[in-house]
Amino acid sequence: MELKAKEEERINKIRMESRVPNDSFANLKRGYLFMYNLVQFLGFSWIFVNMTVRLFILGKDSFYDTFHTMADMMYFCQMLAVVEIINALLRVTRSPVIPTLIQFFGRNIILFVIIGSLEEMQSKAVVFFIFYLWSTIEIFRYPFYMLTCIDIEWKLLTWIRYSIWIPCYPLGCLAEAVSIIQSIPLFSETGKFSFTLPYPLNITVKFSFFLQIYLIMLFLGLSVNFRHLYKQRRRRYGPKKRKTN
């Protein structure tokens, strides 16, 4: 009996010791994810609040200098979003890799290439709508993830998180498409990012040609992400299957 008791005590001790690293890792992961989502929430909230205040004060005039007043924070938030790809690849989060990649590269092409590299694009009204729609989605998405990290659910926030994309995502995609269409003649005129194939071809390939292809890919990416978001919402709020006896 004494030997059996000692053996059980030893096994219990091993089990307790094996739990400690797992619990420590889980707490570390939660803290890391909470801080990441908090930083992104604060960044996009800053953009959203400032744009809203400027819209009420300046009216339509605020459309045309959005980039010059909000670009630095948007650059920061969108570059930081690479963390979401790393998290998905390493399975730190359950986010699917493909939709995460589509959103990251899609937004950054618009931000850094279409708008950031052309001064003529930076003063266009479409920039306001792109930034505003992006931030509208994120000021609900990131706090939802923050609360999830600490096992808290706010039903209103949850519903908004799974519903806000329905109007905002297609409108955001439409605004991005408008910015690409507006940039195509500018890239054609300036020859920016265009290149000439080596001899004997000597053919100049204009960057605007790739933009026309990307415009088609943009709507293909929309369908992929739209389907993913729809499945998420259906799992959350769809009709539950009744148990059959």
Going 133 to 110 to 101 to 78, the CA torsion angle's sign is negative
Among the listed residues 32, 64, 169, 214, the single catalytic one is 169
Which two three-digit tokens encode residue 62? 């605020």
- DSSP state, 93? S
Per-residue burial over 177-198, b = 16 or more CB atoms within 10 Å of its CB, e = otherwise? bebbebbbebbeeeeeeeeeee
User: Is 214 assigned a catalytic role?
Assistant: no
Give catalytic status of residue 169 as yes or no: yes
Q: Considering the candidates 36, 132, 162, 176, report the single residue annotated as catalytic.
A: 176
Query: Before 198, cis peptide (omega within 30)?
Result: no
The number of CA neighbours under 13 Å toward the Cβ of 231 is 9
List residues with catalytic annotation.
Answer: 169, 176
